C-alpha cells in the first residue's frame, strides 16, 4: 500500500509519524488560501488518511509561519456569476468541512497564523483548535459583500454562542489568540501550535479508539437534536462501548493497577 507521506499533491502535504497524520495546506504564496484545487486535494487526502488503519489522529495546519489558511481564494471569486455559482461554491466547501467534521478519529487544527474566512471555517470543522501565540482569527466575509459560506454561520455560534459569533461575523474583526482562548474559540495557545497539537493528539491516542470515535458521534449527533434525543443517542453508544474488548481491558487494567493496552476492538 502507498505510504501516506509518499502521496503527491500540488497544494497539500501529508506527513505521518506513527499514528498521527499531519495534513499541511501548502500554498504559501497565497497564504494557503483555499482555491478549488486545494479544496479538492484536501478531500482526496482526507479520504486516503481515513482508509489507513494505522492513523489514529489527524492534525491540520498551514505551511509557513504567517498563515494557517487566509480564507477561500478571492482571486477565483471573479468567476462567480450568480446565485447558482455562489451556492455551488458554498456547498463544495461545506462538503469538505463536513467530511472533516465527521471523521471517526480526533482532528486537531494547529493554527499557526492567520485563520480567516474559510480558514477559520476549516478550523471550526476540527474537534480541537490549538493557536500559536501570534495567530489571528476572523470571518471577514461581510467586508467582501458575502456571508461565511463554508459553515461559519452555523458552527461558530454552536461553538461560542450566538452573541459572540454575531459580534465576530458582523464586525468582521480579527481576534488574537489570547482573546480567542477567552471566548472558547480555541482550546489552547502555544508558542508552537504544531508541537502542542501533537501533545494533544498523543493524549487522545492513549484512550480507547472506539470510545473516542463514539464520543465524537454522540456529541455531533446530539448537537443536532433535543436534550432528550441526545441522551438516547448517548445511551445507545454507551451500550456499544460496553460490548467492546477495550472496555474489559480498561476495567481490568484499572483494577490491576497497570496501564491499559487498547486494541480498538
Ligand atoms: N485569496 C487569495 N489570495 C490571498 C488571500 C485569499 N484569501 N489572502 C492572501 N492572499 C494573497 C495576497 O493576494 C498576496 O498575494 P500577492 O503577493 O500575489 O499580492 C499574498 O497572499 C500575501 O498576502 P498580503 O495581503 O500581501 O499579506 P499581508 O500580510 O499584507 O496581509 C492578510 C495578510 C491575511 C491580512 C491579507 O492577505 C488578507 O486580508 N487576506 C484576505 C483574507 C480574507 O478576506 N479571507 C476571506 C475570504 S472569503
Report the separation in Å between the CA atom of 79 and the middle of ligand 1, taken as the mean of its atom positions: 18
**What span, in angstroms and rounded, lies between the C-alpha atoms of 68 and 25?**
8
pLDDT of res. 208: 98
Hey, which of 63, 70, 174 would you mutate to test ligand 1's pocket, going by the most ligand atoms within 8 Å of its Cβ?
A: 70
Q: Which atom of ligand 1 is nearest to the CA of 139?
A: 46
Helix (H, G, I), strand (E, B) or coil at 9: coil
Report the separation in Å between the CA atom of 181 and the middle of ligand 1, taken as the mean of its atom positions: 24
Pocket (CB within 6 angstroms of ligand 1): 30-31, 33, 70-75, 114, 116-117, 140-141, 144
DSSP secondary structure code for residue 224 in this structure? T
What is the reported pTM? 0.96
pLDDT of res. 228: 98
Backbone angles phi, psi at 162, to 5 degrees: -65, -45
**What span, in angstroms and rounded, lies between the C-alpha atoms of 13 and 224?**
33
If one counts every other C-beta atom within 10 angstroms of the C-beta of residue 178, the result is: 12
C-alpha cell at 61: 495546519
pLDDT of res. 4: 75
Q: Which atom of ligand 1 is nearest to the CA of 149?
A: 48
**What span, in angstroms and rounded, lies between the C-alpha atoms of 22 and 235?**
33
Contacts of 238 (CB under 8 A, 6+ apart): none
C-alpha cell at 105: 478519529
pLDDT string in tens for the chain (265-residue length): 456 777 789 999 999 999 999 999 999 999 999 999 999 999 999 999 999 889 999 999 999 989 999 999 999 998 888 898 999 999 999 999 999 999 999 999 999 999 999 999 999 999 999 999 999 999 999 999 999 999 999 999 999 999 999 999 999 999 999 999 999 999 999 999 999 999 999 999 999 999 999 999 999 999 999 999 999 999 999 999 999 999 999 999 999 999 999 999 9
Hey, which of 11, 31, 36, 140 would you mutate to test ligand 1's pocket, going by the most ligand atoms within 8 Å of its Cβ?
A: 31
pLDDT of res. 249: 97
Instruction: Name which residue sits closest to atom 43 of ligand 1, judged by CA.
Output: 71
pLDDT of res. 7: 73
pLDDT of res. 78: 87
Asked if residue 43 lies in contact with residue 78, where contact means CB atoms within 8 angstroms, the answer is no
Report the separation in Å between the CA atom of 155 and the middle of ligand 1, taken as the mean of its atom positions: 24
Report the separation in Å between the CA atom of 139 and the middle of ligand 1, taken as the mean of its atom positions: 13
pLDDT of res. 2: 58
Report the separation in Å between the CA atom of 245 and the middle of ligand 1, taken as the mean of its atom positions: 50
> How many angstroms separate the Cα of 220 from the Cα of each of 86, 126, 246?
27, 12, 23
DSSP secondary structure code for residue 10 in this structure? S
What is the per-residue DSSP string for 28-94?
Answer: GGGTT-B-HHHHHHHHHHHHHHHH-TT--EEEEEESTTTEEE--B-GGGGGG--SHHHHHHHHHHHH
**What span, in angstroms and rounded, lies between the C-alpha atoms of 8 and 6?**
6
**What span, in angstroms and rounded, lies between the C-alpha atoms of 207 and 18?**
16
If one counts every other C-beta atom within 10 angstroms of the C-beta of residue 195, the result is: 12
Enzyme catalytic residues: 121, 141
Instruction: Name which residue sits closest to atom 38 of ligand 1, judged by CA.
Output: 70
Instruction: Name which residue sits closest to atom 47 of ligand 1, judged by CA.
Output: 71
If one counts every other C-beta atom within 10 angstroms of the C-beta of residue 203, the result is: 11
Amino acid at each position: 500500500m502507498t505510504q501516506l507521506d509518499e502521496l503527491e499533491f500540488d497544494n497539500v502535504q501529508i506527513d505521518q509519524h506513527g499514528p498521527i497524520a499531519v495534513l499541511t495546506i501548502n500554498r504559501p504564496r497565497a497564504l494557503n488560501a483555499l482555491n478549488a484545487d486545494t479544496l479538492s486535494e484536501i478531500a482526496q487526502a482526507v479520504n486516503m488518511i481515513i482508509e489507513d488503519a494505522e492513523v489514529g489522529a489527524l492534525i491540520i495546519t498551514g505551511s509557513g509561519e504567517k498563515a494557517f489558511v487566509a480564507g477561500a481564494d478571492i482571486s477565483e471569486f471573479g468567476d462567480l456569476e450568480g446565485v447558482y455559482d455562489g451556492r455551488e461554491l458554498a456547498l463544495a466547501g461545506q462538503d469538505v468541512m463536513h467530511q472533516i467534521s465527521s471523521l471517526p478519529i480526533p482532528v486537531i487544527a494547529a493554527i499557526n497564523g492567520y485563520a480567516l474566512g474559510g480558514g477559520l471555517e476549516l478550523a471550526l470543522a476540527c474537534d480541537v483548535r490549538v493557536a500559536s501565540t501570534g495567530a489571528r482569527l476572523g470571518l471577514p466575509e461581510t467586508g467582501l459583500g458575502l456571508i461565511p459560506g463554508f459553515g461559519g454561520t452555523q458552527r461558530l455560534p454552536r461553538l461560542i454562542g450566538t452573541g459572540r459569533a454575531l459580534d465576530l461575523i458582523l464586525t468582521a474583526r480579527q481576534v488574537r489568540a489570547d482573546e480567542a482562548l477567552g471566548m472558547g474559540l480555541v482550546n489552547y495557545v502555544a508558542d508552537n501550535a504544531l508541537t502542542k497539537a501533537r501533545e494533544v493528539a498523543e493524549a487522545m491516542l492513549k484512550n480507547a479508539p472506539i470510545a473516542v470515535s463514539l464520543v465524537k458521534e454522540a456529541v455531533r449527533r446530539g448537537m443536532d437534536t433535543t436534550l432528550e434525543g441526545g441522551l438516547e443517542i448517548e445511551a445507545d453508544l454507551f451500550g456499544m462501548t460496553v460490548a467492546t474488548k477495550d472496555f474489559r481491558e480498561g476495567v481490568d487494567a484499572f483494577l490491576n493497577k497497570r496501564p491499559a493496552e487498547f486494541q480498538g476492538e
